[in-house]
A and B are shown apart, each in its own frame.
Chain A
Amino acid sequence: MLVGRRIPDAPSGGSTRNPSYSDKLTSFWARRYNRNIEDGKGSATRMKRLLAFVLVVVVMFAVMGVTTPGLLDKTKLGLDLKGGFEILYEAQPIVEGGTITRDALRQTAKSLEKRANQNGVGEPEVTPEGKTRIRVKIAGVADEGKLRDLMKRPANLEFRSADGCASATDYCKVELRGDEFVENAAKVEFDTLHNPLVAIKVKDKAKLAEISTRLVQKRLAIMLDGELITDPVVQVPLTDGSAVIEGQETVEKANNLRDIINLGALPLKLTEKYTQSVGATLGQKSLEETALAGAIASVLILVFMLAFYRAPGFIAVICMIIYVWMLLGVFWLMGATLTLPGIAAFILGIGIAVDANIITDERIKEELRSGKTLNSALRSGSKNSLRTIIDAHVTTAIAGVVLFYMGQGSVKGFAVVLIWSIVINIVTNVIFTRILLHMLVQSGHFAKPWYFGVRESDIRAL
């Protein structure tokens, strides 16, 4: 493996072999054993400790076994694993010279989400980005073309009445359109009883006067993209070009209505700036291939750990399985979506987990070789390796955090998984590993250096 020459082991000056080490070790345990016998507990205590260890492991695995199918089922897959599309829209006001407000962008995003939902798309992800952009991610969609056409349509705000329609709630006559309102003039105000209401202004006073006179005591429906938002009753004729809409149950609803009207007055035009679209079976194939790669890699790594580190390797294997399970759990709790870069980060996270274990186990081996007893080798090995592991984790986390804040789209997805892997790694492969290892050693059943991958001939005198 090494580049360069390596001279076969010559009797080395630095270390003297000490054949009596194993005797010493056994005598250490023998003494303890004898003492325990004298105390009347002896092998029963050791058995209890081993049982406690086995119990903890079995319970963990039972919990994982029961919950994993559900977790896997609930893990949301991204569009690259399921098929679907991602579009980054640049928003521009349709009217020349208009500016885009934050509220308008948020409202546009909301209405995009609503449109996708109305078309039976499960959980579309729509997020405003920066000042003028909206990112839409939709996984698992049947007719992509139709949905994309739908998304691009500007928001359509109408005030309608039932004048001359079939029934009093069938609002078929369009009275006012979004662009007939004064831009950004809708405001939330409060009446004397401190109830929220929305004040609006139209461009054409005469038109509003005519409509409101005709519709006194009748309803005027406010509709966005053909969907009824609210239908207040016109109380009096409105002659000065402004009106207030009462009956807002909460401030939040009033704010929402204000944003809708302002957006309707200044609809945004959306242009596709970045598009990624993946066919459904293609996504499925990617998922299968990548999952297979992950499974093979995991098995290889687990076998390696078992063969090389034995008892601590066994514990590493347990902890790495718990790590994967916990990561899935975090995904579920956060409602995060698993994407291809996410899986890559997942597998790299396993690499980091292995490294944490290797550093610990290698250190324990070293301490054992230096002639320490198992207990003190374990203690100093855990302690000395901890600092290294934390330094290593923090540096990787720095890269992760930078990626998270600077990256977009797939890079961000990668960063989220990387950061969570590091956090969970510290819980499982640093803390939990140490607890389990301690329990196992305390049981006294694995006292021989062989269980730690150390040759007795390599052990030096203290």
Chain B
Amino acid sequence: MRSEYNSSKFDFVKSSKKFFIISIVVTVIGIVSLAIHGLNYGIDFQSGTSVDVTLSKAVDKETTEQFLKTQELGEHTLTTAPNRLTIRFKEALDDVQEKAFRANFSAQIDDQAEYEVNIVDADIAVEQQRNALIGMLVACLGIVIYMSIRFEWRFGLAAVIGLAHDAFIVISIFSIFQWQVNLPFIVAVLTIIGYSVNDTVVIFDRIRENMRFAKLKTPADVVLLVNRSVWQTLTRSINTVVTVLAGAICLFIFGSESIRLFSLAMVIGLFVGAYSSIFISSPLWLIFRGDSVPKRRAKAAS
């Protein structure tokens, strides 16, 4: 692939309006969905009990429902998959109830059953939710500060809008499809933020480097510079996202059930992250910069 930009190639700056519109539309859909459905909080953020049972034989839903009724453990929802049951109790069971449940299930339905049980108390759930949110904000802040020191504030701002965009789109998609949000999801979003910034830094680094040598006389020169920078780093952007995506997709397909949603969030996030660094962050920087043609920025990169 020839990486040098010329007028016959795709103009990222000129097309940026289209991508801004796409992103804004998706964001609005996300806001609407979050306002209507909210997120489907999993056990980590909502108190209660979740029991995953891996069965050694086929058990029909009816039998399980009957069994659950006799246990009298309060409100519950039951989802079934082949050889797997997930029961979510609204109440946080205490250890005596939990033990009794397991013993009874093994005795009455499947003596080879394997259990994965999560019980979360109400105040821990609230605390984890708060910690997750604070963690994300602090991480973002740290990244902006670092970018502002290493580059300049406009780069930092553009990068943060890019990463907020990525995190928000992943959260929106999880809200639209009502996929469950647990602690690993937060981990995924944070990793996505890390990767997205990573991607953006590589492009911004190139813009900064090109600016050292460029003679910028007209606004068109700056546009050209951004296009050139994006094109020069394009092979890298694509190759990296392809390899890392390959890893995440492998985790999604072959990995264990308990990290499936984590991997799914990663796959979506990586894709969105690569998209936003190219189509959102770089043109945004150009907008923040305005049309001004600067005095030579001799020390821009030092």
Where the two chains meet, the residues of A that have a C-beta atom closer than 8 Å to any C-beta of B are 1-7, 9-10, 12-15, 80, 88, 90, 145, 148-149, 152, 272-282, 285-287, 289-290, 292-294, 296-297, 300-301, 304-305, 308, 340-341, 344-345, 347-348, 350-352, 354-355, 358-359, 362, 366, 369, 384, 387-388, 391-392, 394-396, 398-403, 406-411, 414, 418, 458
Contacts and interface: CB of A to CB of B under 8 A. Distances in A.
Interface centre among B118, B119, B194 (most CB of A within 10 A): B194
Given A402-B142, A407-B135, A14 B6 contact: yes
A275 B143 contact: no
Nearest to B191: A348
A278 B52 CA distance: 9
A28 B99 CA distance: 78
B247 A350 contact: yes
Contacts of A5: 10
Contacts of A392: 197-198, 201-202
23 contacts: A1-B238, A2-B234, A13-B6, A145-B99, A152-B95, A273-B121, A275-B120, A279-B115, A282-B115, A289-B254, A289-B255, A304-B243, A347-B250, A354-B240, A358-B240, A369-B3, A387-B205, A394-B146, A395-B198, A401-B142, A402-B142, A406-B135, A411-B135
- Size class of the B contact interface (CB-based, 8 Å): 35 or more
A21 to B, nearest CB: 15
Nearest to A14: B4
A369 B142 CA distance: 37
B193 interface: yes
A366 B244 contact: no
Contacts, number: 233
A7 B9 contact: yes
A396 B9 CA distance: 32
A12 B131 contact: no
Interface in B228-281: 232-236, 238-240, 242-244, 246-248, 250-251, 253-259, 262-263, 266, 275, 279
A15 B239 CA distance: 24
Contact of A273 (B123, B240, B244, B275): B123
Interface in B89-143: 94-95, 98-99, 114-121, 123-124, 128, 131, 134-135, 138-139, 142-143
Interface of B: 2-4, 6, 8-10, 15, 54, 94-95, 98-99, 114-121, 123-124, 128, 131, 134-135, 138-139, 142-143, 146-147, 150, 183-184, 186-187, 190-191, 193-195, 197-198, 201-202, 205-206, 209, 232-236, 238-240, 242-244, 246-248, 250-251, 253-259, 262-263, 266, 275, 279
B230 to A, nearest CB: 11
A158 B280 CA distance: 69
Given A344-B187, A347-B251, A398-B146, 14 more contacts: A2-B238, A7-B8, A7-B9, A274-B121, A341-B259, A348-B266, A350-B247, A351-B244, A358-B239, A388-B206, A391-B205, A402-B139, A407-B135, A411-B183
